[in-house]
A and B are shown apart, each in its own frame.
Chain A
Amino acid sequence: MSARLQIQDLRSALAGPFSFELAAGACLAVLGPSGSGKSLLLRMICDLDPNSGDAYVDGASRAQMSAPEWRAKVVYQPAEAAWWEPTAAAHFSPPQMARVRELLPQLKLSPSLLDTEISRLSTGERQRMALIRSLARAPRVLLLDEPTAALDEESIAATETLLQAELERGLSIILVTHSEQQATRLCQRTLRMRERQLSAA
């Protein structure tokens, strides 16, 4: 039985080497000071920055598939998600809409926000909408960079409940966070990033 995500000797000129495994439905927290290389790690895993080594999802090697194919399975959500269409709705394909409508109330978002101009959404609304955008792609692994940084306590709780449910359904998550409490609430395992190297917490 191969792991959901396997990271093998991933390194770039800036960070690494990193090697670890993540089981299906497991959550790995990455803690560490700003600038220590947490986002670099996520960018390397989704192959957005040049790097060497290999990564596997359900035993399938990243090197054997195209980058878009890999990134559809291993979705990276940056701390500040960018939008390229005027409304959130325009970022979804018609088949994704059923799932989107199911997710909106779980994150305490009104469906009317879908057709509101993105620039008129609050930072917190945009951040939750970005999580919906990532989940609607039905990834195998989700790489989350501080997904609750701009949220109030109620929205943080809603987000964590949703992530918990997704983990139980088999999604695997790597969670970059500044909150040790959040890491303990959601994740079985925590690694610490320091000077672009990972170590056990």
Chain B
Amino acid sequence: MTDIAHTIQPGAADLAIAASLVLFDAVISAMLGLRLHKQVLWAATRMVAQLLLVGLVLRWVFAIASPAATLAVAALMIIAAAREVAMRPAHGLRGWPGVWLSTASVGLSSVATVLLALFTVLHPTPWYDPRYAIPLIGIVLGNVLNASSLGLDTFYGGVVNARATIEARLVLGATRSEALAPLVRDSIRKGLIPIINQMSAAGIITLPGIMTGQILAGMDPMDAVRYQILLMFLLAGGSGIAATGAVYMAARAVTDERHRLRLERLKSH
């Protein structure tokens, strides 16, 4: 069992010592002319502010433990992730279809995996206990965001570059799914590579973040490992749903019912 009494809690002074490492980065940047010192300091400041804010919000949400508050926080997180998915790839859909596509792919994949975990594996009572639901959706979102934006980046880039090839198949009577099939496969594969790498590197090259955190917080390593394995499976499922969903929706969105390529629906960032 976890024994909180024996864990070491970093205090303000400890954090200040660790912060000197960031200053050290800034000094390196200034001395070597990397022109990164402003960015390093700004990113570190942002990180501190964002995390403190999240800590406060989570403490508050955990305290009121209402399904509405949990749902509201989850919805906000999904919207933020969807915005990233719409912005990150070099190309994106114009207007509402782009918003709808990224929200649907990120939202459906994360909600489906998190609900599956809550109802069949973890069984917290009540099921919406924010102490489980919110960290879960957070880590799943981080991964599905990666999977869909990589998939979409490959797909949109491919459609723009291979326009002539795709149209060459269409003019010979291919359907839009036939003409786009190789690109769709490539894009989904791209979206799945990070989670595959994560799984194969786990434990040997990297100690996954969640597990490390739990061990640092005093959990027995084997318990932490079981949690991490469960999470990896969730992330693999989530990434698969997200990449597949996003790329298939994008393939529909850049073509029409007359099997034409409609690149005017794309904009570049």
Q: Give the B-binding residues of A (Cβ under 8 A).
A: 46-50, 66-69, 71-72, 75-78, 80-84, 133-134, 137
By the criterion CB–CB under 8 Å, are B170 and A48 in contact?
yes
By the criterion CB–CB under 8 Å, are B173 and A69 in contact?
yes
Give the residues in chain B near A77, CB-CB below 8 Å: 171
By the criterion CB–CB under 8 Å, are B260 and A84 in contact?
no
Q: Give the A-binding residues of B (Cβ under 8 A).
A: 164-165, 167-175, 182, 256, 258-262
Q: Which of A49, A68, A72, A81 contacts B168 (CB 8 A)?
A: A81
By the criterion CB–CB under 8 Å, are A71 and B167 in contact?
no
A128 to chain B, nearest CB (A): 16
By the criterion CB–CB under 8 Å, are A78 and B165 in contact?
no
By the criterion CB–CB under 8 Å, are B182 and A71 in contact?
no
Report the 3 A-B pairs with minimum CB-CB distance, sorted nearest first: A72-B173, A82-B164, A82-B168
A65 to B130, CA, bound (A): 54
A135 to chain B, nearest CB (A): 11
A48 to B168, CA, bound (A): 10
Given contacts A48-B260, A67-B259, A81-B168, 17 further A-B contacts (CB under 8 A): A48-B261, A49-B260, A50-B258, A66-B175, A68-B173, A68-B259, A71-B172, A71-B173, A72-B172, A75-B173, A78-B164, A78-B171, A80-B164, A83-B168, A84-B165, A84-B169, A84-B182
* A76 and chain B: residue at smallest CB distance: B171
By the criterion CB–CB under 8 Å, are A84 and B168 in contact?
yes
Q: Which of B170, B173, B256, B260 contacts A137 (CB 8 A)?
A: B173
Contact A67/B258 with A72-B173, A137-B172 known, Cβ cut-off 8 Å: yes
A91 to B167, CA, bound (A): 14
By the criterion CB–CB under 8 Å, are B260 and A68 in contact?
no
The 24 sampled A-B contact pairs (Cβ below 8 Å) are A46-B171, A48-B261, A50-B256, A50-B258, A66-B259, A67-B258, A68-B170, A68-B173, A68-B174, A71-B172, A71-B173, A72-B173, A75-B171, A75-B172, A76-B171, A78-B164, A78-B168, A80-B164, A82-B168, A83-B165, A83-B168, A84-B169, A134-B172, A137-B172
